[in-house]
Amino acid sequence: MAAKTERTFIAIKPDGVQRGLMGEIVKRFEQKGFRLVAMKFLQASEDLLKQHYIDLKDRPFYPGLVKYMSSGPVLAMVWEGLNVVKTGRVMLGETNPADSKPGTIRGDLCIEVGRNIIHGSDSVDSANKEISLWFKPEELVSFKSCAHEWIYE
């Protein structure tokens, strides 16, 4: 299992923080069996957010996205586990909550795409880039959970 373990970057956006959904979202990832290896609660700077969303810089909504994401605190996290990037994206639901299935975070907890409460890396490569942007290597904790044998074969 260790060879297939990967990490993903998950961030609860200002709307999720303001609505008090941090605990619910963390709970879902923990209950799934993923391991939290880093977490920080911060007011993200515009510079950090411009780097984070650099691939969207030519889109018309980019300035508003950066402004919105810097408007309040964000909970940045790194989760680890087998296929955590793909599974995490499934757990989040579609970018547009209206297209998200019940049982997903966005399907259950939000309505509009501009207030979709959470970000999740879309590939292992983007996860690695996002993790290194938001966290220093020494901020990532490596440990084996006592529940590991009850989650993985």
Q: What residues act catalytically?
A: 119
Q: Are 5 and 144 in contact (CB under 8 A)?
A: no
116 is in an annotated binding site: yes
89 is in an annotated binding site: yes
143 is in an annotated binding site: no
Instruction: Sort residue 130 into left (φ over 0), alpha (ψ -120 to 50) or beta.
Output: alpha
5 is in an annotated binding site: no
Name the residue among 50, 34, 32, 25 with its Cα closest to residue 1.
Answer: 34
Name the residue among 89, 119, 103, 105 with its Cα closest to residue 25.
Answer: 105
7 is in an annotated binding site: no
35 is in an annotated binding site: no
**Binding region for ATP:** 13, 61, 89, 95, 106, 116
**Binding region:** 13, 61, 89, 95, 106, 116
